[in-house]
Amino acid sequence: MTVTARFAPSPTGTLHVGNLRTALHNWMFARANGGRFLLRIDDTDRARSEERHVDSIRADLAWLGLVPDGEERQSSRFDRYEARFAELVAAGRVYPAYETAQELELKRKVLLGRGLPPVYDRAALALSDAERAAFEAEGRAPHWRFRLDHDAGIEWDDLVRGHQRFDPKTMSDPVVRRADGSWLYLFPSVVDDVDMAITHVVRGEDHVSNTATQLQMFDALGSGSPAFAHEALLTGSEGKLSKRLGSLGVDHFRDAGIEPQALVALLARIGTSDPVEPHVDPALLIAGFDFARFGRAPARFDEVELAQLNTRIVHQLGFDAVAARLPDGMTPEGWDAIRPNLSTISEAADWWHVVEGPVDAADMSDEDRAYLGQAAEAAAAIDWSGDPWHALTGALKEATGRKGKALFLPLRLALTGRAHGPDMAALLPLIGKDRALARLAAVG
């Protein structure tokens, strides 16, 4: 058996962080088991589906490094849904129902008012041919429901939630097709999973009741069902389900300077018993991927944690990986010098400006100005071909008796305009002799 997982977004909007986590875990599981990862565009809703969102979904997955092994479009498979639908109608597993939305809502309110669960009463199954014909004659088109088998208990061993059991008698027969002929999610998804030989379905725990229904659909179609893993939903840092998570997508993270490796590293591990670690190479995350390590408690997504993780990722990235996003003229040596002080790659331009100048002159005491005058003379005399920073500070320490902060801070302020920053031993050779002498002379 080839493990085959799928990510099945609807192109009615952009992906949010919860979608991205689902896509990532499907991809990781497939890769961990030497299997296939498919992208299925669930575009049966023609009114709301937009091609620009399809393009956005592909681009977002590419940014994260999640390359599908194949892609399918539900909009190209309507004939297949019609054929399998006709089979279930002929077998009596799908039936027409003629209640209006208002009539169904009234039934629901009556049941709730009696303290009963709002389960559909299957009144449509009791209609005579004449009654159905009368509805048709008055122009009332039916919607279609899948008839659950009340005698067949629903059970499965979920890869995250453990053993699950549902009583179909407590469930409404789900609507699978609207009166206008359009499809709801449940049935086409099952047909696709059968035809595409999906072996594992990884999705959020909000789909658990859908799975209970779909298991009977797989059986009605004469097919075995995939294994299911229902993950705990993401919560915000405040510990509650956050609407804001529904608006956080790739554009948000990219604009904030988050590297895709950081987002992958966080989403791969939150909600598991494994620590979140700054792995640049996803192979290390894939190797340890196991649904047995996922918990049932909500998975906490914290943007502060993501930013901290991003900093640790940036500190590992080599020059070749970031060169296209660095300011003109920055060398590998420049990247190595500046990288330890960055939280995002965009900050490199600010530090490279410190190298190339001009820098703002810092306020100095008269004593420090005199000291920097000595520093300018010493800088002109040292050998710049080796380690100019230690040569300069060594000469000044001997000449002035200064040490520690009194020795180093005025030099840093004069040379960079800042009290903190990259290691001056790495930065001073990048500034170079001419610029360093000019900066020291300007202050001293």
Mean pLDDT of 403-421: 96
What pLDDT does residue 197 have? 97
Q: For 100-153, where are the E strands, in sequence order?
A: 143-146
Residue 431 counted as domain residue: yes
DSSP SS3 for 38: strand
Q: Answer yes or no: is 337 within a domain.
A: yes
Q: Is residue 215, in this structure, part of any structural domain at all?
A: no
Please report the pLDDT score of residue 188 as a whole number: 98
- Looking at residues 80-85, what average pLDDT do you find? 98
What are the structure tokens assigned to 128, written together? 């005579």
Q: Note whether 48 and 93 are same-domain residues.
A: no
Lowest-pLDDT range, 239-253, 266-280, 317-331?
239-253
243 marked among binding-site residues: yes
Beta strand pairing status for 70-73 and 36-41?
parallel
User: C-alpha 283: how far from its chain's center?
Assistant: 17
How do the residues of the chain divide into helix, strand and coil, expressed in percent and rounded to 5?
Answer: 50, 10, 35
For residue 167, being part of any structural domain is answered with: yes
Domain assignment present for 196: no
- Cα–Cα distance measured from residue 118 to residue 257, given in angstroms and rounded to the nearest whole number: 48
**Helical spans, DSSP H, in 14-50:** 17-32
Are 378 and 420 within 8 A, CB to CB?
no
- 122 plus 92 within the same structural domain: yes
For position 146, what pLDDT does the model report? Answer: 98
pLDDT at 104: 96
Residue 333: inside a domain: yes
Same domain, 402 and 421: yes
Residues 336 and 309 in one domain: no
- Measure the CA–CA gap between 233 and 347, rounded to whole angstroms: 33
Residues 292 and 341 in one domain: no
Is 37 found in the same domain as 101? no
Q: Structurally, how many domains does the chain consist of? A: 4
- Which domain-ending residue is among 177, 197, 217? 177
User: Is 250 in the same domain as 290?
Assistant: yes
32 shares its domain with 113: no
Same domain, 156 and 92: yes
Residues 330 and 372 in one domain: no
pLDDT at 362: 82
189 inside domain: no
Q: What's the pLDDT at 1?
A: 85
Q: Pick the last residue of a domain from 354, 372, 406.
A: 354
Give the range of the structural domain holding residue 329, as residue numbers without chain letter: 319-354
Residue 444: its pLDDT value, please? 72
Q: Is residue 190 part of a domain?
A: no
Residue ranges with strand state E in 289-388: 299-300
279 lies in the same domain as 349: no
What pLDDT score does 51 carry?
95
The answer to whether residue 243 scores a pLDDT higher than 80 is no
On average, the pLDDT of the chain sits at 95
Can you tell me the distance from the alpha carbon of 25 to that of 231, in angstroms, rounded to the nearest whole number? 10
Give per-residue pLDDT as tens, 176-188.
999 999 999 999 9
Indicate which CATH number applies to the domain containing 309: 3.40.50.620
**pLDDT tens readout for residues 107-154:** 999 999 999 999 999 999 999 999 999 999 999 999 999 999 999 999
Amino acid letter, residue 283:
A
* pTM score, whole prediction: 0.91
| Confidence class for position 241, pLDDT limits 50, 70, 90 | low
CATH code of residue 169: 3.90.800.10
Examine the domain organization and report whether 147 and 122 are in the same domain: yes
Q: Does residue 15 carry a pLDDT above 70? A: yes
Count Cα neighbours of 342 within 13 Å in the Cβ-side half-sphere: 26
